[in-house]
A and B are shown apart, each in its own frame.
Chain A
Amino acid sequence: MAVPGTFLPPVPILLLLLLCGLGPCLATADGSPGVECVFFNEEYMTCRWGSRETVAANYSLYYWYENRFPVVECKHYLQDQGINVGCHFNRSETIQFLPFRVLLNASLGSRTLEIHSNRMELQDLVKPEAPVNLTIRNVSGNQLQLTWSSPYAKARCLEHSVKYKSNKDTSWTEHRVNGDIFSLPSVDYEKFYTFYVRSKINGYCGSTQLWSEWSVPVVWGNNSTSKGAAEEQLRWFLIHTVLVPIASCLLLLVLVILLVRMERVWVILMPRIPNPIKNFDELFSTHNGNFQEWAGVPKDVVESFKPNYSENICYVSELPPKDSYEPLWEGSNHPPSVTPGSPPAPREHSPYKNSYLGV
């Protein structure tokens, strides 16, 4: 079954379609709700189709009951900044248990849009008033009894919902009740309870999901001492679970910072990488790289490594093979092609090319 009273498509969207020329006239449309009708405590009814965001157009509403014509225009429009956004029905204009239909006319310039409704019945749109005169009675055996009365005339057609919570609870507990009495067994006298009640037409007299507003609350229990105890508990809770850990963390942080800042301690924890350059500083600055001198090697030892003979350099070369045979010269002190007085060509792996010879 469709949700009662919420059966028309959004009016602004339909008007935009009208402006775009996608159809000046639409039959009964399904989809998202547009006009919402609520029958308040069976005393008066309002049907609303717009708000401030509604497209500025001329709206007119017509209604009729099946089997009871004629079609009647709304006698009392609800307006918002000069635009009709709803219709108010008096009790005399409402009939329950009879199919009720609505036709909304929206005209913009020369074009008119007609929006037809589905069939609905007003008993399914009733929203009763909130219960009143909530009273708590203490019965034997730690049991509380909550009673109330309803401004709605036919109390037997109502079902109720009670929600309650103590000062120690974090969430509300909700119970459905058919009559007008609710019992709460095993209450704690140290706690402080709060109760709310609301009403709805039951399934025997209608088919609606419209609950009334919550009633004015009623309270029971020990308010003052429990309040102080709660504050005391809250204070201890803050100290134990919030302040102490934070203070500990701050202290730790301070110690770490001090530790890092004190170099003596830091050096022990993080020793420096040794740099041997200081030990060899004198070698390069005073002795100019002379290792023997820096090391303190005696002069006679240094001299003993110097050669006390001279030896002529023997140049040995091998000529590449050619067509004509040419004799090779070996171990001769007179190379054939060398000009006297010219320096010999350097060899790669000559054992005599070193600093000891002074060449």
Chain B
Amino acid sequence: MKRTPSPKQSVARDKKAFFRSIFRVLPLLLVLSPVNPSGCAMGNRTAEIRVKYENILSHDIDELVNMSAEYRDRCCKNKKQENSKVFFCNDTQEVGSLQTMACNMLRFFHKQKLGRELRRKAALVSCGTLQVLQCRCERLRKEKVCVQVNTYHREDTETGEQSKKKCNQEFCELKENISSLRSCWNKFEKIISR
């Protein structure tokens, strides 16, 4: 003999079914959604991005590369950090890779072992990358660095000059980041310059 469910039971059952259906659909939505870096509003701005990169950002990147070349890097060739992150410029995900690299490079701004000007320049390039691509970092507090960088005043470079002679693993990591960021921008520029 079949028992008919009470109104309360039927409502509870509907609710469960509702949540089950939501939780099934939601992952599908996440999987099926177009691959777009979270926090980047690129839109159809490739021409604008190219102009900003060529006229402004590429020169800052060159300056940053030249600045890092003044530092000793002997300790970088033999020893490799196990915890160091390696970022690749993935195919069809150049913007996301640039976002990841830029956000990661922001954390070096507070590393006291690095030269002050180098840290500032690296943060400037990171912030410039995020601004050109209109991206945001997952950790919002990282972008506060960009406000600090813009209001930063140049102080004495004595600390910077001393740190140029000392090689440390943080510098090696930063140098890898700079190289990867530059390479990824080259790749992105090549794609949008067709």
Interface residues in chain A, defined as those with a beta carbon under 8 Å from any beta carbon in chain B? 1, 27-28, 30, 66-67, 96-98, 118, 121, 123, 154, 156-157, 203-207
Contact = CB atoms under 8 A, between A and B. Distances in A.
A118 B88 CA distance: 17
Contact of A157 (B62, B89, B190): B190
Contacts of B183: 97, 121, 123
B53 interface: yes
Contacts of A123: 183, 186-187, 190
Contacts of A206: 186
Given A27-B78, A98-B88, 6 more contacts: A97-B186, A123-B190, A156-B193, A157-B189, A205-B190, A207-B186
Secondary structure of the B contact surface, majority rule = helix
A171 to B, nearest CB: 30
A43 to B, nearest CB: 16
Contacts of A28: 77-78
B88 A67 contact: yes
Contact of B184 (A66, A67, A97): A97
Contacts of B194: 154, 156
B193 A154 contact: yes
13 contacts: A27-B78, A66-B88, A97-B183, A97-B184, A123-B183, A123-B187, A154-B194, A204-B53, A205-B186, A205-B189, A206-B186, A207-B182, A207-B186
Across the A-B interface, the 5 shortest Cβ-Cβ residue pairs:
A156-B193, A97-B187, A205-B190, A204-B189, A205-B186
A97 B89 contact: yes
B168 interface: no
B184 A157 contact: no
A203 B190 contact: no
A154 B190 contact: yes
B40 interface: no
A19 to B, nearest CB: 26
B193 to A, nearest CB: 4
B89 to A, nearest CB: 5
A8 to B, nearest CB: 14
Given A154-B194, A157-B193, A204 B77 contact: no
A140 B58 CA distance: 37
A48 B182 CA distance: 27
B69 A205 contact: no
A204 B53 CA distance: 8
